[in-house]
Amino acid sequence: MDKIEKSRKERILDFVNENNYQRITVKQLAVIFGVPKEDVKFLEKIVSELEKEGKIYIDDSNRICKLNKGSQYIGRFEAKAYSFGFVRIDNELEAQDVFVAREEAMGALSDDLVLVNITKQKTVTKNAEGKIVKIIKRGERPVVGIFKKSESFGFVEPVQKGVQDIYIPKKFSLGVMDNARVVVKIEKYATETRKAEGKIIEVLGSENTADIERTMLIKAALVNEKFLDKVLKEADRVQEPEINFTQEELDKRADLRDKNIYTIDSEEAKDLDDAVSIEKLEDGTYKLSVHIADVSHYVTENSEINKEAIKRGTSIYLPGYVIPMLPRSLSNGACSLNEGEDKLTLSIDMIIDKSAKILYSYIYKSIICSKKKMTYEKVEKVLKNEDKKVLKEYKNFIPDILLMQELSKILRENRKKNGSIDFDIPETKVILDDNGEVLEIKPYEVGESNQIIEEFMLVANKTIAKTFYDIDAPFIYRIHEKPEIEVLRELNEVLSVMGTSIKGINKIHPRAISDVLEKFKNDESKKTVLSKLVLRSLKIAKYSNECLGHFGLNFNFYTHFTSPIRRYPDLFIHRVISKYIENGYVLEDKEIQKLYKQAKEYAFSSSACEKVAATLERDAIDLYMAKYMKKHLGDEFEGVISGVNNYGFYVKLPSTVEGLVTMSSLEDDYYIYEEKNMRLIGQRTKKTYCVGDKVKVKVIRADDTNRQIDFLLIGGFNEKE
């Protein structure tokens, strides 16, 4: 965008947002602004862009309207079931999901850009509710589903939730087999009296295999699975050792190849971003060094690889499969800190005392050679002094491992003392066989070995953020803003049912929330549910070019520095850090202004990419959960009520699988939903079902196409009357 266009956008916004503004057309705006007749088309383009950016909207009479603050938003619609969906608001001011019932959705499909009016404000237990009043722009997302063929026509059953069957005329499905997995382009959108009509543009396969099911989810999410040839060819060129390990390059770096430096990651990890080394100094302080792959050396600013990385924003991790941000020749090869290979890195040394105070830090370019690819599983066995085979393999590294444990405990205890919030919400681990079929679903085990690396990365990220904030450098920070007082009041009403509350909400400190979670640390049935409830009431962490602090961690300064292979903000700040190091920490004003602009742009785009990745990862896990529970139809399980609403309640099993007990299946009484108390109460028996209650359920339905699981309640361990 040139300066003239930007200036006009700002002028138009300022004009529209004036208190006495009256709705006008673009032609009337052109007269007021003195725009020549030949430039009116250009003005229309600017106004249209402002609407797509969610800053204004055009009404049915083609007049420019300002949004009513707090009650009108522009966002992307995401259907979740046939009966409802959400409008995802994600602008520079705030992020939230607005619930929209199907009858209030104007026929919107996932990815449509819409204008929504808020009809009910957000509460702790429920999203804001709204009504779509305009479809601004139809989305580009294709419909992915299963083709059902008949003699004269066909239709597609979409894999996307909330999308009705798509009618396919015979001429648009020639040669496509019945039950084929297909991609459909909508030619005519649905009306009140007619189904949507489309044509098949791609056939993914004819058999229901694990690979095809995964591909369908990826296609439905509009995620690019494959790299363009020009990106792959460029990646092959830039990874050559002779290009990167010149004497001139090595002379710029500290040579740490003889140091005891290790990576600690999961057994299956192939994209190794980070390595660590540790010493205990004579005065009793610790020297912790964190070494991160210098990805910005390989991925230069104007390269095709960088352009693609900006679009992707992040790597996406699905069970048994990764969609990388960078081509695998870089992510798993040249950039990955593989054992026994010389690698270019950005390092930070930190001198830390026994009270966790950082006495000194130094950031520099380096070259390392990892002495060992350690795994969480094996380091855990070393810490527990078990498994003779592992102890023998790690014999030469045990002193360093124990020293890491010693320092990480100091850092963790200090962080908890300062009120940093630790949410106890176990992640799901999906175990697949060689054919991609699900064998088991269980909680991902987090041991002390995971905590060691977590603490070291946290302290490195915090130190890097403060260093570059202090010199007022253009940067991308990871921020988590304070929750709103009204939301905390509503949360306390819910917590009172569980016999607790958050203190001091008018001047909230993270420690107050930590204290509440700590009360339930020994109550397995409630601590995870409580953590999820509290997390839902907090704002979403995101990227920003402004340093606004991280409420959950209780850090004034925080960034993402430690994963440049798989997150673009990390890669961007690596480039910034390198520029400052190479130029003696003095950059020209022109360069600084360019970096400020990029920081703002990439923070926003990376936050959006992160949401897409999180949704796809969640959908994939839901798919495998449904496939797994198909094997357990009729089986009984014990679980905990994790959520209650007006159509039933969700039950979470120890395996992390979650399913719905519908209100209609509770036949012993007529149950009323009490939103404030997050419970169902029987009208006659007064029996209640609340969040955190233990129950016993039977699996009665597992639909892997729609990724839904239904349970039948067969007993409650703490039914109340």
Q: Give the tens place of pLDDT for each residue, 430-461.
A: 999 988 889 999 999 889 999 999 999 999 99
CA distance 594 to 574: 16
Q: Say yes or no to pLDDT of 3 above 60.
A: no
Indicate the SS3 state at residue 676.
coil
Question: Token pair of 227, please?
Answer: 């790299």
Q: Which fold does the domain 72-137 belong to in CATH? A: OB fold (Dihydrolipoamide Acetyltransferase, E2P) (2.40.50)
Q: Say yes or no to pLDDT of 671 above 80.
A: yes
φ, ψ of residue 202 in degrees (nearest 5): -160, 140
- Which range, 86-95, 230-239, 286-295, 505-514, is most confident? 286-295
CA distance 261 to 400: 10
pLDDT of residue 238: 86
Beta-ladder partners of 694:
640
pLDDT of residue 159: 81
Q: Give the tens place of pLDDT for each residue, 672-720.
A: 998 777 789 999 999 999 888 899 999 999 988 778 999 999 986 554 4
Q: Which CATH class is domain 3-66?
A: mainly alpha
Beta-ladder partners of 143:
184
Mean pLDDT over residues 390-402, rounded? 96
pLDDT of residue 4: 46
CA distance 629 to 635: 9
CATH code: domain 632-716 is 2.40.50.140
Mean pLDDT over residues 116-121, rounded? 87
Contact between residue 239 and residue 300 where contact means Cβ atoms under 8 Å apart: no
Q: Say yes or no to pLDDT of 614 above 50.
A: yes
Q: Which of 68-82, 222-236, 324-338, 439-453 has the lowest mean pLDDT?
A: 68-82
Contact between residue 600 and residue 545 where contact means Cβ atoms under 8 Å apart: yes
Q: Which fold does the domain 143-220 belong to in CATH? A: OB fold (Dihydrolipoamide Acetyltransferase, E2P) (2.40.50)
CA distance 220 to 143: 6
φ, ψ of residue 461 in degrees (nearest 5): -60, -40
CA distance 305 to 234: 7
CA distance 131 to 449: 48
Mean pLDDT over residues 552-569, rounded? 97
pLDDT of residue 308: 97
Q: Is 103 exposed, middle or buried (0-12, 13-18, 19+ CB in 10 A)?
A: exposed
Which DSSP category does 397 fall into? G
Domain with CATH 2.40.50.700 in the chain: 143-220
pLDDT of residue 435: 86
Contact between residue 659 and residue 643 where contact means Cβ atoms under 8 Å apart: no
Q: Which helix (H) or strand (E) holds 628?
A: helix 589-630
**Percentage of the chain with pLDDT > 90?**
55
Mean pLDDT over residues 235-264, rounded? 90
Q: Give the tens place of pLDDT for each residue, 65-85.
A: 888 777 888 888 887 766 678
Domain with CATH 2.40.50.140 in the chain: 72-137, 632-716
CA distance 116 to 664: 31
